[in-house]
Chains A and B, each alone.
Chain A
Amino acid sequence: MRANLTRHWPLLATGVVLLALYIGAAIAFPGFRTWFQFTRLFSDNATLGLAAVGMTFVILSGGIDLSVGAVIACASMMLALLAGELAWPLWLAAPAVLAAGAAFGAGMGGLIHIFRLPPFLVTLAGMFLARGTALLLSPHKRIELGSHDSVRSLSLLHVADFTLAALIFLAAVTLSALALRWMRWGRTVYAIGSDESAARLMGLAVAPTRIGVYALSGLCAAAGGIVHVIGTQAGDASIAFLLELDAIAAVVIGGTVLAGGRGSVLGTLLGVLILAIITTIPGYVSDLDSWWTRLIIGALLLLFVSLQRVSQHWREE
């Protein structure tokens, strides 16, 4: 038991912070106590959540992906273009966008793996590429879907107040958790983040896993873009600006170590919820401005990075 406690304390710390935030908010604002508000934490942050799920894989493998925000924007524009202006059916347009996102991610992963380029640089360039492409897709930087009935009906779908966006996010968390725990591919992600040359010597498939991780991140980001279109009936090239920073923050606050090898998707879910509460609170307080959220997220990031550093130091002793 004690061993389990020390092993999982980063996750516990995140859980305690989340619980304290939620209880605090519920005491301060009656509106926070409702079931509807609870489900909105998921619905309103599904795009961030999806990006953070993909980012979890990337960070677990020891990398980083700064392109996810731009990929979300680009995917939203692509979907709106295909389904709106070109009038493709949604069952064709959405998979096409997902495939494009995955292919883009795989391309970056290939550059990182084959040419051993620093991930932050490749994905920073990827961010510019994706954002530039998104802006180029329409002279108005925004494509309204107009009367696209299938998308509109999807946006009204919900189960126990969870919207489709929230359900997709939760499904992604569940599937990722399963893959990371129960599949060889998932364990290989941990092994690469832990010690790449060891993973190679163990005979694990390093190259496909590493490239797959970035492809998955691109796929998740594209899904985030699709979810956004469903929610707003439009593609927009300027959304999700610097969202990658929030996604990284959610992953790190969720207890995943930036150096790779340690962490979980469950932690990322908690991290996303913490960010969700922090960004929701200003809506309840008239004199609290929204930029406080940036500061608090930065502070939390610092706190958890320092905790990781301290625990690493402590283990080495």
Chain B
Amino acid sequence: MADALVEMREIVKTYPGVVALDAVDFTLRAGEIHALVGENGAGKSTLIRILTGAERPDRGRLLLNGREIHARSPAEAQRLGVAAVYQEINLAPDLSIAENLLLGREPRSRFGWIQWGEMRRRARQIVRSMGLEADVSAPLRDCSIALRQMIAVARAVDQRARVLVLDEPTSSLDAAETGRLFDLMRRLRAAGLGIVFITHFLEQVYAVSDRITVLRGGRCVGSHAARDLPRLALVSAMLGKAASAVAAERASTRRADCGGAARLVAKRVFRRRSIQPFDLTLRAGEVVGLAGLLGSGRTEMARLLFGVETRDGGTISINGAAMHRHSPRRSIRAGVALAPEDRRAAGLVPRLSVRDNILLALHASRGWLRRLPRRDQVALAEQFVRSLSIATPDLRRPVAQLSGGNQQKVILARWLLMEPTILLLDEPTRGIDIGAKEQVESLVADLRVRGMAIVFISGELEEVVRVSSRVVVLRDRAVVGELEGAAITAGSIMERIAGPAEGGGHA
């Protein structure tokens, strides 16, 4: 390929216990926008980190314009012409736009003084050449996130970047802002840059990309021209199931009865830049699966229902009680439990023991004075360690030392002993081994039979199909469909995730 700008050949990267990239090939041509897609753990971010010099590969070669390069830091990669703009923008918000564009190579007089007039003039030039409109002496923090994003792009381009990596640049932009960013991307493509574009939004993938590379489980599962790859094929490549096989699979019949009392009712609940208004009624004895790609709004939905984030509008009532000033404490008191997606950040207190972590919610609900007697603590913790078969040498072990699956079960134990009526499970099986996964699934089935109302979020479609009695499908931060009973198949869910433009191509 004569016009290959970047070639990554058989890149291997392992972390302790995980093969993040397993002989991945990736080619970026000059003058193309290349979407890199994949679910969590697919290896996208590792690949990008290697491309931008933040990590070194264990094996494999990285060629830029046909010459092998070994960048040891992002700064070095930048000098070689590979620049990245991340979701959390790496600019100094307190400095002016002009400085953010030019700092480090600002025009200076013979005595080393900065020439502000010249600097502003050049900054205005850059801004105009990007088709933007901005007061270059305004501090960056006064600009919209979209403009900051584009200033970061402008800085990279002005530093003669030939390769531009945009890592989820649109995740906090609204539609109009996204459109402006796309215009800029097309302009740069016309100028001959190679752009790697990472996003979770399929619409956006088809809106700007020329080619699409799909990663799954640390392997490259395909690289196609965007117009040759129908949406459904893309979704099935990401989720790892042939579309035809999926469509044929029938939903099991074990979920007939879902007519219990309404436990949780959400009406027109929304949060700006997070999720569009949705309705949801959760009944006793049903498992509602939330299906959608990463970033589709499924986690945001759970967080709103639990009151971790404040909603901008709508009403939520839990077991008949309206949640006005909603907070996790209120939700818990009303009988809700949430096992969060990010166990490390939001679930565990890593230094504390297994026992303390299991009993945390119970102690929190009892207040500081009514600590459970030690004997009861041990008995309760042991009971759940046994019933959930948590593998731990003893209860006093710091929870950080347990495996991922056992950590997840510790969090489940924490909530189950609270005897909630509503259980929100956000990716309860992510990163845990097959055996633990099956245990979690059968536990969910068990709890449902006992009358609990459960929300089950998973990126793995088969799992959602297996455990759910109803499935709500999300796309681009909005609810786009609901499936019930026999209609629940991986195929039908995928169709809804892929969206209406069935043929793919340029939307």
Contacts and interface: CB of A to CB of B under 8 A. Distances in A.
Interface of A: 3, 7, 181-184, 187-188, 190-191, 193-195, 197-204, 261-262, 315
Contacts of A197: 90
B92 A198 contact: yes
A184 B92 contact: no
8 contacts: A182-B113, A190-B94, A194-B93, A195-B92, A198-B91, A201-B90, A202-B91, A203-B79
A194 B108 contact: no
A200 B91 contact: no
Given A182-B113, A183-B113, A197-B90, A202 B139 contact: no
B151 to A, nearest CB: 12
B113 A198 contact: no
Task: Tell me the dominant secondary structure on chain A's binding face.
Answer: helix
B419 interface: no
B25 interface: no
A174 to B, nearest CB: 14
B507 interface: no
B388 interface: no
A190 B139 CA distance: 12
Contacts of B91: 195, 198, 202
Contacts of A181: 114
B141 interface: yes
Contact of B114 (A182, A191, A203): A182
Nearest to A60: B94
B34 to A, nearest CB: 23
B113 A201 contact: no
Contacts of B78: 201, 203
Given A194-B93, A197-B90, A198-B92, A187 B141 contact: no
B112 A183 contact: yes
B106 interface: yes
B94 A261 contact: yes
A317 to B, nearest CB: 12
Contact of B90 (A3, A195, A261, A315): A195
A24 B116 CA distance: 39
Q: Which of A3, A184, A195, A201 has the most CB of B within 10 A?
A: A201
Contacts, number: 69
Given A182-B113, A203-B75, A3 B138 contact: yes
A191 B75 contact: no
A208 to B, nearest CB: 14
B189 to A, nearest CB: 24
Interface in B51-109: 74-75, 78-79, 89-95, 99, 103-104, 106, 108
A7 B135 CA distance: 13
Interface in B421-448: none
A35 B260 CA distance: 86
A307 B79 CA distance: 41
Contacts of A188: 103
Given A181-B114, A194-B94, 7 more contacts: A3-B135, A184-B103, A184-B104, A198-B91, A199-B92, A202-B103, A261-B94
Given A3-B135, A203-B75, A191 B90 contact: no
A187 B113 contact: no
Contacts of B113: 182-183
Given A187-B103, A261-B93, A7 B139 contact: yes
- The 10 lowest CB-CB distance pairs between A and B, nearest first, are A261-B94, A194-B92, A194-B94, A198-B90, A191-B92, A182-B113, A203-B104, A201-B90, A202-B104, A262-B94
A20 to B, nearest CB: 28
Given A3-B138, A184-B112, A204 B93 contact: no
A100 B231 CA distance: 69
A186 B112 CA distance: 12
Interface string B111-126: 0111010000000000
Nearest to A261: B94
Contacts of A187: 95, 99, 103, 106, 114
Given A3-B135, A203-B75, A184 B106 contact: yes
B106 A191 contact: no
A193 B94 CA distance: 9
A198 B113 CA distance: 23
B150 to A, nearest CB: 16
Nearest to A316: B141
Q: Which of B93, B103, B141 has the most CB of A within 10 A?
A: B103
A183 B114 contact: yes
Contacts of B99: 187, 191
Contact of A191 (B89, B95, B112): B95
A242 B141 CA distance: 35
Contacts of A183: 112-114
Contacts of B108: 184
A262 B141 CA distance: 11
Contacts of A201: 74-75, 78, 90
A103 to B, nearest CB: 24
Contacts of A200: 75
B502 to A, nearest CB: 41
A283 B116 CA distance: 46
A294 B126 CA distance: 51
Contacts of A199: 92
Nearest to A185: B112
A22 to B, nearest CB: 30
Contacts of B93: 194-195, 261
Nearest to B79: A203
A21 B116 CA distance: 35
B92 A190 contact: yes
Contacts of A262: 94
Nearest to B135: A3
A261 B78 CA distance: 25
Contacts of B138: 3, 7
A139 B471 CA distance: 82
Contacts of B90: 195, 197-198, 201-202
B395 to A, nearest CB: 34
A207 to B, nearest CB: 13
A202 B105 CA distance: 10
Interface in B273-329: none
Contacts of B95: 187, 190-191, 194
Contacts of A182: 113-114, 116
A190 to B, nearest CB: 6
